[in-house]
Structure 1
Amino acid sequence: MTSRVEHTDVGAYALGLLEDEDKEAFEAHLLFCASCRSELSELAGVASVLNGIGPVEDDRPPSPAPAIDMLRRKRAADRRTRRGTFVIGMAAAVTLVAGGLTVGTQLSGAEAPQVAQGSEHMAHMGPAEQFYADGRPIEGKGVDGITGGLVVESKGWGTHAALKLAGVEGPLECELISVSKSGERRVMTGWSVPPAGYGVPGSPDPLYMHGGSATQLKDVDHFEVVTSTGKKLLTVEA
């Protein structure tokens, strides 16, 4: 995958089968691909079950879980094929190794995770909203009743941010921009605001978005949300 990032590599990433270079490339790809982030969230449970399917304890040295080992070998054999084949093979391996295990239906009774009251919304959060909820938001200064903020973190490749935006009406095209202390401006992500808007009467849910900048967080002065016409909607100090 060093030549390009495949959407279907999400299965390999979930099981930790990507090489370091491919893993870094795919993590950067996740920032801008909502479909891959959603699929990764759905596969998280499958990955944990596969990692838990190990050999019966005996006196032999520990070895990788058979399902993971099988998938590693399959990954190596199919490296030049479409990644979709790997994802299909992963599902087949679960059935083969676990003797008919059906992920999501077998984890019932005493083994089923208990969902606390009031946590239903948490279970349905998207990656950007979850990251924002778990972090320490920096409130921004908006115009025309617009509110919002950012949760930011430093990465080896630059700065990762989750944006919350409310009180904005469409239709608009917007971008989240990082502005360095030297004045360099980098687009972190872009989106369209539908006519109904976000965080307004009739459309009360705010917008949550991921973004990434190659500028290191220590070098960022502030962030801006601007429209395609250049109007500044929100400013967030770093």
Structure 2
Amino acid sequence: MRSLDRHRDAGAYALGVLDATDAFRFEEHLMECPACVAQVSEFGPAVRQLMLYARATPLGVPPLTAPRARLLDRLLAEVALISRARRRRWLCTAAAALVLAVAGPAAAIVAGSGADTAARVTARDGRTGVAATLTTQDRAWGTQVALEVWDAVGPRVCELVAVGKDGTEQRVASWTATGEARTPMTTEAGTALHPDEIDHFEIRTADGGLLVVFGRP
């Protein structure tokens, strides 16, 4: 398969419709193509919408029933909206990182909080060079978490850990850093701890190395 054809497979790979052979070849290509990594990431919202559509479809409806005519338009519009929002967040994070770089090896900025709104914290560690934005929101079941990480070192396995005020720890999410710092790694997850039970969050390597701390005084 030619390289150009592999670029075109980003959407099919994100939606999980490639066969095993093509998926294997595309994953090999993905390791060397930051542009395709970004495209696959941007298809995340569309994939989630399709999963929600599938779950909402009644059992008596044939699986190949065509969706309403404007579903594709809505999905494409959402992808474009989120892409623009990510670019804006990247500019804000870059500006914050520039300020934080002179503040010491580790620092954080609280961008907003409230009882009924999401709280966002941006942090950069001058020692490791890792920058990240953490958004949390209180839910009935615990805390919903959204994370963006800019990490120029890789490949390496990293994890987000919530540290409770009583010293307990819960691993919230894990991922493999590719070393591509221009495009952030994004993920959404959750912890059973509520915000008022959490002392701080940490991003660590799989072997326990500390990369970034959110919320520590």
How far did 1:224 drift?
0.5
Instruction: Give the root-mean-square deviation of aligned CA atoms.
Output: 3.9
Contact kept, 8 Å, 2:149 with 2:186, in 1: the verdict is: yes
How far did 1:124 drift?
4.1
1:153 matched residue in structure 2: 137
Contact kept, 8 Å, 1:164 with 1:207, in 2: the verdict is: yes
2:193 matched residue in structure 1: 215
Q: Which moved more, 1:166-175 or 1:182-191?
A: 166-175
Residue from 66, 79, 102 that aligns with 2:69: 102
| Normalised TM-score (structure 1) | 0.49
What does residue range 25-36 of structure 1 map to in structure 2 within 5 Å? Answer: none
1:226 matched residue in structure 2: 204
Aligned AA for 1:225? I
1:192 matched residue in structure 2: 176
Contact kept, 8 Å, 1:170 with 1:193, in 2: the verdict is: yes
C-alpha offsets along residues 14-72 of structure 1, whole Å, 9 cap, x if unaligned? xxxxxxxxxxxxxxxxxxxx99864332477x79xxxxxxxxxxxxxxxxxxxx9xx6x
Aligned-pair identity in percent equals: 20
How far did 1:198 drift?
3.2
SS at match of 2:154: coil
Change (3 A) 1:87 1:212: farther
* Unaligned stretches of 5+ residues in structure 1: 1-33, 48-67, 79-85, 95-100
| Normalised TM-score (structure 2) | 0.53
Aligned AA for 1:188? V
Contact kept, 8 Å, 1:222 with 1:235, in 2: the verdict is: yes
Q: Distance in 2 between matches of 1:135 and 1:153?
A: 5
1:236 matched residue in structure 2: 214
SS at match of 1:140: strand
Q: Distance in 1 between matches of 2:211 and 2:144?
A: 20
- Whose strand fraction is larger, Structure 1's or Structure 2's? 2
1:165 aligns with 2:172: no
SS at match of 2:81: helix
* Unaligned stretches of 5+ residues in structure 2: 1-41, 91-116
Contact kept, 8 Å, 1:165 with 1:198, in 2: the verdict is: no
Contact kept, 8 Å, 1:176 with 1:211, in 2: the verdict is: no
SS at match of 1:159: strand
Contact kept, 8 Å, 2:199 with 2:215, in 1: the verdict is: yes
What does residue range 25-64 of structure 1 map to in structure 2 within 5 Å? Answer: 38-42=46-50
Aligned AA for 2:141? W
C-alpha offsets along residues 105-163 of structure 1, whole Å, 9 cap, x if unaligned? 8x8xxxx9xx7xxx98425479xx69x89955212242321111211001111111111
Change (3 A) 1:87 1:217: farther
Greater C-alpha Rg: 1
What does residue range 60-79 of structure 1 map to in structure 2 within 5 Å? Answer: 74-75=58-59
